Amino acid sequence: MARQPVRRARTNGTKSEAKSATRSATKGATKSTAESTTRGTAKRPANTAAKSPAKSSKKGRARSPARRTAKSRSAAETGTRSATSGPSDRVLQELHLRMARIRKFEEAAGGLMEDGKIPGALHLYVGQEAVASGIMQHLSDEDQITSTHRGHGHLIAKGGAFPEMFAELFGKASGYCKGKGGSMHISNMSLGMLGANGIVGGGPPIAMGAAFSNKFRGTDRVAVCFFGDGASNEGSFHEAANMASLYKLPCIFVCENNGYGEYTAQENHQAIRDVADRAAGYGMPGVVVDGMDVMAVYEAAGEAIDRARRGDGPSLLEAKTYRFFDHVGMRGMGLTYRSDEELEAWRRKDALLSFEAMLLDMGVMTKRKLTSFYKKLDEELAAAIQFAEASPFPDPSELLEDVYSVA
Amino acid sequence: MARQPVRRARTNGTKSEAKSATRSATKGATKSTAESTTRGTAKRPANTAAKSPAKSSKKGRARSPARRTAKSRSAAETGTRSATSGPSDRVLQELHLRMARIRKFEEAAGGLMEDGKIPGALHLYVGQEAVASGIMQHLSDEDQITSTHRGHGHLIAKGGAFPEMFAELFGKASGYCKGKGGSMHISNMSLGMLGANGIVGGGPPIAMGAAFSNKFRGTDRVAVCFFGDGASNEGSFHEAANMASLYKLPCIFVCENNGYGEYTAQENHQAIRDVADRAAGYGMPGVVVDGMDVMAVYEAAGEAIDRARRGDGPSLLEAKTYRFFDHVGMRGMGLTYRSDEELEAWRRKDALLSFEAMLLDMGVMTKRKLTSFYKKLDEELAAAIQFAEASPFPDPSELLEDVYSVA
Amino acid sequence: MEKAKQQPRSITYVAAITEGVRAILNEQDNAFVAGEDVAGAGSVFGYYRGLLAEFGENRLFDTPISEKAIMGLGVGAAATGCRPIIDIMFMDFIAECMDEVTNQLAKMRYMFGGAATLPVTVLTMSGGGMNMAAQHSQCLEAWLAHLPGVKVVMPATPYDAKGLVIAAARDNNPVFVVLNKLSLGIRGEVPEEVYEVPIGKANVVREGSNYTIVAVSRMVHEAVKAADELAGLGLDAEVIDVRSIQPLDTALIIKSVEKTHRALVVHEAVRFGGIGGEIAAQIQELAFDHLDAPVARVGAPFSPVPFSPVLEATYMPNAAKIVAEVRKTLEI
Amino acid sequence: MEKAKQQPRSITYVAAITEGVRAILNEQDNAFVAGEDVAGAGSVFGYYRGLLAEFGENRLFDTPISEKAIMGLGVGAAATGCRPIIDIMFMDFIAECMDEVTNQLAKMRYMFGGAATLPVTVLTMSGGGMNMAAQHSQCLEAWLAHLPGVKVVMPATPYDAKGLVIAAARDNNPVFVVLNKLSLGIRGEVPEEVYEVPIGKANVVREGSNYTIVAVSRMVHEAVKAADELAGLGLDAEVIDVRSIQPLDTALIIKSVEKTHRALVVHEAVRFGGIGGEIAAQIQELAFDHLDAPVARVGAPFSPVPFSPVLEATYMPNAAKIVAEVRKTLEI
Ligand SMILES: Cc1ncc(C[n+]2csc(CCOP(=O)(O)OP(=O)(O)O)c2C)c(N)n1
Ligand SMILES: Cc1ncc(C[n+]2csc(CCOP(=O)(O)OP(=O)(O)O)c2C)c(N)n1
Ligand SMILES: [Mg+2]
Ligand SMILES: [Mg+2]
């Protein structure tokens, strides 16, 4: 069965039957706001004055959009909360910036891996950019995320800097993890990025624990875990979702359903079409959203995150998406488990290109700005790669450091 | 919140929304037949001639009702399948026999444990008899079950013999497991009882594996796993349910929801009221049934088991029930986590007593027969306990036997 | 050996654990206890009893029966500023969350280049002897000691139970405090004050001159009994309570063997592949020229723990087996 | 050492595994393969490639990413008459199903008094050296060898890979076949015929007179290299491939040490708590009077496996480290 792109957000988890014995608090999923298409209308909220983070910083690289503290969140929130007005230009530009940064980084990293310059295996995020970007737009550095083996995009959207990221992929001492983690464990605690994870399903229990901590410590921070359709079959997801809902934790479970776990199609790994169907079994709302539409993701995520911040507990957000490259690297192992037609159908929905077209349409972006934007991005990438390549490897003596905290 | 007995069976797992993207095969839970109360009407099917298994066998003990081979299943099945006729007298008597045998065995075993005569810990099944009995009525020795730490009732309903069971609880060489397993691992492979299990959630993956085997080997056998409300939060349940549904395995997931996992009430371990709500997330039907009504369990189980035998895949059957004693033993640790009122409300629904009242009402049973039935049961118990007490302990030299198969 | 500085009182091992946890909950605002039946029931072993009333339901959390989520909760909460005390009821159940232990808890700091700090304390109950059969009686500490990134302590006495719980919870690393069922009722002197037993330090519980018994957890008491018996055979045995198997106090053990020239290691875990192999291997490696006899080992035989009381009695290591092994090794 | 009886061909380790599995699927009607990406993709390591076309989708099953269910499938299917070949892609992921391994698979037969028979074969891939970092490079065989009820084999050569897969799948007990990533491309002579390498028998791969190196899995090849170097130092080293760590061929190892009087044990797993401790402890216990030097050990240092190529190169045990350890121990 060919996998078709989906169009609209839906809310799952409600049921037709009156269920007398069931507490109403745990039922009745929130209505999804993701259905409203905000494109084109884009009324500007009053406080749009925030400086564009897409501007180059002193060092000549585009400033990472997520590098905001909790205080500067208001603009983004206004954009989310108002049903009648669309998000501000700043939000639109940041969403674009996040997506473009991911796309470009991943293409460069994939090329370096295929050329044998980056050791080990990279799982590229190209195709899924709208998911990380739409969600991270709502988060500050104090909000946490857990990621997956396919983690670069999450870190970039959360504000990860290219030089430290490339350096990590190269295994250099200047990398985010001093070269000890590599692609599958790339992380940055001060950005609230609790790690890519080589274990499928590794993230949800950790994010749930971070959400527990947020609540325990009396903060309004949220924790978001990203996981795949394949990961939704791991026991860890089940246990974390149940516990998060029981304790009403500020935890958002984001399933990036790209239709495959490695080389196994969804229909061959679970007998459901929507992972969001599982939400009802935990007493939390389950929402399906078009993961190729960054605005749809942004809206649905805003709802779920607001709910979590309000103390109303977790949500399960399923984004239907697709990875444009193979499971590992770009070309992969050469297995033919996806048809060309399927790939083409999804590529036509390319989240970045369609969003760019919309921004041009809206006048938020011009062709010229876009050209110079990509030129700057390319320069930034080249500089970051140069930094990474020029950086020294860790000294062998560092092998036994960082196993334990000595403080 | 006091836990109230429920009255009627319900089918969960259907949803109001039209879900275009979802394969219809995995949705639309089967309609539950459990709603039909068959009591009182009890029309006899044509082939009721089967000899009553409640008659004493040569050895003076009541013949174990489940000790039937696949061939003798027809009567029971007829009782299930006909919507217009109730089950035969034989079925009604066997259901009663199973329940009464469990009740009496457990009370005796509990007493022996409290008196310090049985070592270790017993988890008693008293209160939940209708669940094991109603389900096992549909199974032959070639059908498999996996059980829990609270496993005596399942084994008895599947045809377990008292002498070998008591001997096992006493740790004697004549026990079902030669004394090596004890209460928490009591089992009998030739009865298709793949073990009580000291690991909460240990059973579902094993039952799923047995169901896989049944299908792989081309049989029409089914595998049933019993597990508690508490166990439904283990990752093992999630993974097994997903896999069973994916492969359309003849596996029935029976959640005995007695409202507590040890000393923790359901509302403190999950944010849902009906574990059956989880079925939809695996693409299988979820049915809630009154676990204090053996006929309701029998009907609902028949539906699920028929479905499985037909090759239509697994079901999740949730039986609302209650344990009349404490988590361990009869008196337990003396914690006050359940109110007297709650216990009383459930005791008023005693599945055995209410079924006996119905049988008397229907004339299937008479007071006199009942008296002699219990007298015989008491004698059988006494003989079995005597057998167990008189049996020798295993020889210390047996310690290292049975670790590996040497064949 | 650390000495009680004041108010010597004799309390049980289980009460000592409670005191240790209480001290931490008093001292560390970001500490909490999470696990199955730890709050309302105060643990099925009773060592949190009373603490819910004392500290309230914002400090002790009954969890679902979800060991992966429980351990994950510890990892995520610790990485973000809490000091979780995680309870895994029976050590056998740690098998349910070995991924969270092995691939997350033990490695996160290293994989992140030192950026994450994980002050997680895990309390769990090991050991047989109570007719609880194969799935509720195991000693699986060898798994944990093999994992870079975690520490593993195994108190044998009430004094050490309190002091090691406190030290573990103050440590900024993941520390497993492996408790022992049959030890719960053991009494011993425990000061009322708050004190630490340093992690990684073994303890000479009986001095001796010509034999060293290195004992783990409850086997310390069996070793002392064995030492008393061995005295009748002309052996003056020193008994070392390792207390911590990761890190291991190799120096103290070697010092003793250099004096006594003979050694035996005893633990309740299955002998094959148990931590005793590591200890024996280290002794022969580092004190080879001092050894007058092979390093002997006593552990459980190679079978699951049987239910039947007679079989379990045959199964469990004890003083008699230690004595027999010493006699066999020394041919006396 | 078993000898190829006919048709000597040189094939790779990965091809040898395929041949072993093929032989079993041909021979045993109730055998099947289940695991993540084993059917359509033929495993990410390629060792089932071609078998789906050959045997059809009723013999190879792609599973969801659910290690607990995968192992449970093996337990339940084996207990009811099948002979499952279960695939756990990376050995690191065995942590996800240690409950099913430890508390069900290893113990069911014993707990049931011998009534259950569990012919489960588990194939899993261990080892570092491919820059796959901390969660995809571990050697956790010591956990398994400590579990009564399971067997654990670790082929180092194509010949043993095929023969041990066949022996494991014919065995009526749970057998873990722990494979090694860096060995996948190793070539060696493998007969086309179907043969078993007996489980529990070690193999002298290089004879020698005055030093014994006991090696596990791929370290066998490093040990042979080391032996060549040691020859230059006047040492004539015998190299033993243990092949099976549970059961362990203690007799063969002891026989060798009685001849050579010196020994070293090497494995890729973390040294502390690895199977080398058990082997060293047994050697000194059973050959004490024959030893002229302490039993040395080489294993990975006490850290998770680092990603960075330079760090991983420093991390991995190899011939040079074996030679260095021998020189240190013998002070030469
Ligand atoms: C516990 C575990 N099992 C298996 C794997 C191997 N593996 C790595 S990625 C992957 C597929 C994951 O699929 P999904 O969750 O859908 O994420 P996607 O790759 O599609 O982003 C698998 C099976 C793993 N890393 N961890
Ligand atoms: C993996 C695991 N975790 C915890 C336990 C301890 N334990 C034994 S029974 C039980 C409660 C089980 O609750 P439920 O599944 O509802 O079954 P019930 O006792 O109510 O029949 C717990 C937590 C266990 N045996 N195994
Ligand atoms: Mg996927
Ligand atoms: Mg319950």
Closest listed residue to residue A190, CA positions, set A55, A66, A96: A66
pLDDT at C130: 97
pLDDT in tens, A119-155: 999 999 999 999 999 999 999 999 999 999 999 999 9
Cβ contact, residue pair B234, A234, below 8 Å: no
ipTM: 0.94
Cβ contact, residue pair D96, A337, below 8 Å: no
* Total domains, chain C: 2
Integer Cα distance of A405 and B21 in angstroms = 50
How many angstroms separate the CA of residue B2 from the nearest CA in chain A?
Answer: 12
DSSP string computed for D153-183: E---SHHHHHHHHHHHHHSSS-EEEEEEGGG
From the list D37, D65, D302, the residue facing A400 with the nearest CB is: D302
Asked if residue C26 has pLDDT above 70, the reply is: yes
Q: Where among C189, C217, C239 does a domain terminate?
A: C189
Tell me if chain C has a CB within 8 Å of the CB of A210: yes
pLDDT in tens, B296-334: 999 999 999 999 999 999 999 999 999 999 999 998 888
Q: What average pLDDT score do residues C15-44 get?
A: 98
**Chain B, window 371-390: residues with a beta carbon less than 8 angstroms from a chain D beta carbon:** none
Asked if residue B76 has pLDDT above 60, the reply is: no
Q: What average pLDDT score do residues A38-44 get?
A: 30
Residues C239, C177 share a domain: no
pLDDT in tens, C68-81: 999 999 999 999 99
Q: Where among C160, C189, C218 does a domain terminate?
A: C189
Residues C232, C158 share a domain: no
Asked if residue D33 has pLDDT above 70, the reply is: yes
Asked if residue A219 has pLDDT above 70, the reply is: yes
Closest listed residue to residue A281, CA positions, set B271, B114, C273: B271
Tell me if chain D has a CB within 8 Å of the CB of C296: yes
User: Quick one: CA dihedral B340, B345, B349, B353, positive or negative?
Assistant: positive
In chain A, domain spans: 85-285+296-388
How many angstroms separate the CA of residue D122 from the nearest CA in chain B?
Answer: 15
Question: Three-state SS across C286-301?
Answer: HCHHHCCCCCEEEEEC
Among A74-83, B263-272, C101-110, D199-208, which is the least confidently predicted range? A74-83
Q: What average pLDDT score do residues B56-76 get?
A: 36
pLDDT at B334: 85
> What count of other Cβ atoms lies within 10 Å of the Cβ of residue B170?
24
pLDDT at A46: 33
pLDDT-derived band at C5, boundaries 50, 70, 90: low
Residue C298 lies in a domain: yes
Residue D196 lies in a domain: no
**pLDDT over 90 percentage in chain A:** 77
pLDDT at C7: 57
> What count of other Cβ atoms lies within 10 Å of the Cβ of residue C292?
12
CA-nearest residue, atom 3 of ligand 2: B200
| Cβ pair A182, A120 in contact under 8 A | yes
Could you tell me the fold of the domain covering A85-285+296-388?
Rossmann fold (3.40.50)
Nearest ligand by distance to the CA of A148: 1
- How many contacts (CB atoms, under 8 Å) link A and B? 130
Q: Mean pLDDT of all residues in chain C?
A: 97
Asked if residue A226 has pLDDT above 70, the reply is: yes
Of the two residues B336 and C125, the one the predictor is more confident about is C125
pLDDT in tens, A58-92: 333 333 443 333 333 333 343 333 344 689 999 99
Does D136 qualify as catalytic in the annotation?
yes
Asked if residue B396 has pLDDT above 60, the reply is: yes
CA D88 to chain centre: 14
pLDDT-derived band at B276, boundaries 50, 70, 90: very high
Its domain, for residue D294, covers 203-330
| Cβ pair B61, B162 in contact under 8 A | yes
Cβ contact, residue pair C98, D96, below 8 Å: yes
What stretches of A153-265 adopt beta strand conformation (E)?
223-228, 251-257, 260-261, 264-265
Q: What average pLDDT score do residues C149-159 get?
A: 98
pLDDT at B34: 32
Asked if residue B350 has pLDDT above 90, the reply is: yes
pLDDT in tens, D198-231: 999 999 999 999 999 999 999 999 999 999 999 9
**pLDDT over 70 percentage in chain C:** 98
Closest listed residue to residue B407, CA positions, set D84, D20, C302, D114: D114
Asked if residue B129 has pLDDT above 70, the reply is: yes
Say whether B223 sits in a helix, a strand or coil: strand
pLDDT-derived band at B83, boundaries 50, 70, 90: very low
Residues C125, C40 share a domain: yes
Closest listed residue to residue C246, CA positions, set D295, D266, D270: D270
Q: What average pLDDT score do residues B338-359 get?
A: 97
pLDDT at A27: 30
Determine if ligand 2 sits within 6 Å of the CB of residue B177. Answer: no
Asked if residue A20 has pLDDT above 90, the reply is: no
Residues D211, D183 share a domain: no
pLDDT at B86: 85
Cβ contact, residue pair A230, D309, below 8 Å: no
Closest listed residue to residue A295, CA positions, set A215, A358, A372: A358
pLDDT at B332: 86
Residues D172, D282 share a domain: no
Integer Cα distance of B375 and C296 in angstroms = 59
Among B4-8, C260-264, D189-193, which is the least confidently predicted range? B4-8
Subunits touching B (CB < 8 Å, at least 3 pairs)? A, C, D
Residues 6+ apart with CB under 8 A from B97: B53, B54, B62, B65
* CATH code: domain of residue D229: 3.40.50.920
Integer Cα distance of D157 and D223 in angstroms = 13
Residues D147, D223 share a domain: no
Residue C140 lies in a domain: yes
Best mutation site among B146, B197, B200 for ligand 2 pocket (most ligand atoms within 8 Å of CB): B200
Asked if residue B53 has pLDDT above 90, the reply is: no
Residues C234, C120 share a domain: no
**pLDDT over 70 percentage in chain B:** 80
Q: Which residues surround ligand 4, an ion (CB under 5 A)?
A: B 228-230, 258, 260
User: Quick one: CA dihedral A263, A269, A274, A280, positive or negative?
Assistant: negative
pLDDT in tens, A273-330: 999 999 999 999 999 999 999 999 999 999 999 999 999 999 999 999 999 999 999 9
Q: What average pLDDT score do residues B194-214 get?
A: 98
Asked if residue B199 has pLDDT above 50, the reply is: yes
Residue C184 lies in a domain: yes
Residues C313, C236 share a domain: yes
> What count of other Cβ atoms lies within 10 Å of the Cβ of residue B74?
12
Which of D61, D272, D307, D314 is best to mutate for the A interface (most A CBs within 10 A)? Answer: D307
Residues C310, C224 share a domain: yes
pLDDT in tens, D228-275: 999 999 999 999 999 999 999 999 999 999 999 999 999 999 999 999
pLDDT in tens, D135-189: 999 999 999 999 999 999 999 999 999 999 999 999 999 999 999 999 999 999 9
pLDDT-derived band at A10, boundaries 50, 70, 90: low
| Cβ pair D71, D93 in contact under 8 A | no
| Cβ pair C239, C223 in contact under 8 A | yes
Determine if ligand 1 sits within 6 Å of the CB of residue D89. Answer: yes
Q: Mean pLDDT of all residues in chain A?
A: 85
Residue C195 lies in a domain: no
CA-nearest residue, atom 8 of ligand 1: A200
Asked if residue C282 has pLDDT above 80, the reply is: yes
**Chain B, window 61-100: residues with a beta carbon less than 8 angstroms from a chain D beta carbon:** none
Structure-block tokens of residue C193: 């004050």
pLDDT-derived band at D7, boundaries 50, 70, 90: low
pLDDT at B375: 98
Integer Cα distance of B70 and B348 in angstroms = 36
pLDDT-derived band at A11, boundaries 50, 70, 90: low
pLDDT in tens, A343-362: 999 999 999 999 999 999 99
Report the residue of chain C nearest A203, measured CA to CA: C72
Give A7's contacts in chain B (Cβ within 8 Å): none
Residue D194 lies in a domain: no
